[in-house]
């Protein structure tokens, strides 16, 4: 009986059913249900909205949408850090800074590429020249906010990709354009080669290109007798045709020069402030599309990184900053830039440097009050958060110090009590290093490497 009633009710037109419901439901204080057509339309809209939440991004779109996964945080970060306030000649100072981690990282990607060339071509990579367009530093001809890294030595061959070697999809593309303008490209994918470099995943300088308003490369291939230059604009979305010129015999030596104007509006979220407009090339000091953004704290951090690069490149290559050669003779020279603690100065010492193996150096100094715990590098990459190499070295060092103190009859101290008083410097070389992220702040390779 109930089934028959329900069937008859459903067969009634909606206008009749609505009239009867209006007489029944108001007394119960309940709203009328929407008509079936309205319910069906709402359900379709909800489903369409759900379907629209799923998207396929290109690799370039993903990098721009999720920068933290590739270059670290955008926007400003406030913390304490070691900096070089004197530019080309100052010492290290531990002070509060406000900076953009992503901005420092894209500069570092280009700088590490130059340091990698020291390992690939030690005979040819005799110098690395870094230029920073910022007030307070020697003038370079660069516009405000522009950065440049120039290294001697063999670079990317000026040749076209072939279908047999590089794949049909990129055949005919010039190799410099492929390596600097396409993600997941590079020369570090042969894991059996045992390379001692900082690059690994095929991102590298492309990330600097993506986060720049203008990115310019110039490379000389002496074997081919050609100088190649090319410009990318608007976060690597606009590619200008390359320019190839004969390489004069008087300047027939290999080199690579990368000049970039970071996208400060995207990196800092402040709309970019300093710098001028125009469309001239950065190499000629012409303006660019955006603004500066190199405040004093950022410049001081960039200068520190260049001093660190000088220590890592020594003695193979000389590193200069804005035309001034940096007198940093390896890890020992870098240690001299750091202030000693008052107790160490009173004792007439306070630091020591030892070569643990052909690939590893360890420096130990008495930590100045409030100073950082370590300064470490792996294949030229600054591992600010340490990693397996620091854990391994710290364990052995602290156990040895504790045992030495106990042997002298001193009051026994646990290793954890000794650690805050030490500032450690580590420079190591690791084959095919592994890091916890593309930011490369922490080494995760096994300690036995």
Residues in the chain: 449
Could you give the CA distance from residue 50 to residue 35 in angstroms, rounded to a whole number?
23
* pLDDT at residue number 334: 93
DSSP state of 208: H
Residue ranges in 262-355 assigned as alpha helix (H): 264-268, 296-313, 330-336, 342-347
Residues near 447 by Cβ (< 8 Å), separated by ≥ 6? 388, 389, 391, 392
Q: Say if residue 278's pLDDT is above 60.
A: no
Would you place residue 349 in the very low, low, confident or very high pLDDT band (cuts 50, 70, 90)?
low
Longest Cα–Cα distance of the chain, Å, equals 105
Q: Say if residue 1's pLDDT is above 60.
A: no
> Both ends of the chain: CA-CA distance in Å?
82
Q: What's the pTM?
A: 0.82
Q: Say if residue 291's pLDDT is above 80.
A: no
Counting beta carbons within 10 angstroms of the beta carbon of residue 201, is it exposed (0 to 12), middle (13 to 18) or buried (19 or more)?
Answer: middle
* pLDDT at residue number 142: 93
Counting beta carbons within 10 angstroms of the beta carbon of residue 359, is it exposed (0 to 12), middle (13 to 18) or buried (19 or more)?
Answer: middle
Would you place residue 133 in the very low, low, confident or very high pLDDT band (cuts 50, 70, 90)?
very high
The average pLDDT across 184-198 equals: 66
3 state SS of 207 = helix
Q: Say if residue 41's pLDDT is above 70.
A: yes
Q: Say if residue 238's pLDDT is above 60.
A: yes
| Cα distances (angstroms) measured from residue 145 to each of 12, 274, 275, 290 | 75, 8, 7, 9
The average pLDDT across 120-127 equals: 94
124-161: b (≥16 Cβ within 10 Å) or e: bbbbbbbbbbbeebeebebbbbbbbbbbbbbbbbbeeb
The average pLDDT across 433-449 equals: 83
Q: Say if residue 275's pLDDT is above 50.
A: no
Q: Domain residues of the chain, as ranges?
A: 68-188+195-268+293-328, 332-428
Mean pLDDT of the chain: 83
* pLDDT at residue number 32: 59
Q: Say if residue 201's pLDDT is above 80.
A: no
Topology annotation, domain 68-188+195-268+293-328: Heat Shock Protein 90 (3.30.565)
* pLDDT at residue number 78: 96
- Give yes or no for a contact between 235 and 266, defined as CB atoms under 8 angstroms apart: yes
* pLDDT at residue number 26: 54
Structure tokens at 39: 């319910």
* pLDDT at residue number 207: 94
* pLDDT at residue number 234: 94
Task: Quick: pLDDT tens for 395-417.
Answer: 999 888 888 888 877 777 787 78
DSSP state of 71: T
Class assignment of domain 332-428? alpha beta
Task: Quick: pLDDT tens for 225-235.
Answer: 999 999 999 99
Q: Say if residue 18's pLDDT is above 70.
A: no
The average pLDDT across 347-365 equals: 83
Residues near 62 by Cβ (< 8 Å), separated by ≥ 6? none
């Amino acid at each position: 009986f109930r089934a028959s009633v329900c069937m008859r009710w459903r067969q009634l037109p909606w206008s009749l059913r609505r009239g009867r419901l209006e007489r029944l439901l108001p007394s119960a204080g309940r709203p009328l249900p929407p008509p079936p057509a309205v319910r069906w339309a709402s359900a379709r809209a909800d489903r369409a909205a759900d379907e629209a939440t799923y998207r396929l991004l290109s690799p370039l779109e993903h990098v721009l949408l999720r920068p933290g996964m590739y270059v670290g945080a955008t926007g400003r970060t406030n913390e304490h850090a070691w900096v070089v306030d004197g530019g080309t000649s100052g010492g290290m100072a531990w002070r509060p800074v406000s900076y953009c981690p992503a901005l420092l990282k894209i500069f570092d990607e280009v700088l590490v590429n130059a340091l990698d060339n020291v390992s690939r071509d030690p005979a040819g990579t005799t110098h690395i020249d870094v230029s920073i367009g910022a007030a307070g530093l020697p003038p370079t001809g660069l516009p405000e906010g522009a950065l440049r890294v120039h290294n001697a030595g063999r670079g990317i061959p000026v040749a076209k990709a072939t279908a047999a070697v590089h794949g049909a999809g990129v055949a005919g593309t010039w190799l410099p354009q492929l390596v600097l303008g396409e993600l997941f490209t590079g020369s570090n994918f042969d894991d059996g080669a045992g390379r001692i470099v900082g690059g690994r995943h095929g991102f590298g300088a492309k990330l600097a290109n993506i986060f720049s308003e203008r990115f310019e490369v110039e490379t000389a291939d002496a074997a081919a007798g050609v100088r190649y230059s090319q410009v990318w604009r608007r976060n690597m979305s606009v590619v200008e045709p390359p320019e190839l010129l004969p390489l004069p015999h008087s300047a027939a030596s290999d080199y690579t020069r990368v000049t970039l104007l970071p996208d400060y509006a995207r990196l800092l979220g402040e709309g970019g402030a300093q710098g001028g407009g125009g469309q001239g090339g950065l190499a000629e000091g012409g303006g660019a599309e955006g603004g500066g953004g190199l405040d004093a704290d950022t410049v001081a951090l960039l200068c520190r990184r260049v001093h660190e690069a000088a220590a890592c490149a020594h003695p193979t290559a000389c590193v200069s900053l804005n035309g001034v050669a940096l007198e940093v003779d390896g890890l020992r020279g870098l240690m001299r830039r750091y202030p000693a603690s008052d107790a160490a100065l009173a004792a007439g010492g306070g630091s020591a440097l030892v070569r643990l193996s052909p690939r590893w150096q360890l420096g130990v100094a008495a930590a100045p009050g409030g100073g950082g715990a370590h300064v470490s590098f792996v294949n030229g990459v600054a591992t600010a958060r340490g990693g397996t190499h620091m854990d391994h070295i710290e364990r052995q060092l602290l156990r040895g110090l504790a045992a030495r103190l106990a042997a002298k009859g001193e009051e026994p101290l646990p290793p954890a009590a000794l650690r805050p008083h030490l500032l450690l410097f580590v420079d190591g070389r690791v084959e095919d290093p592994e890091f916890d992220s593309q930011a490369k702040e922490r080494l995760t390779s096994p300690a036995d490497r």
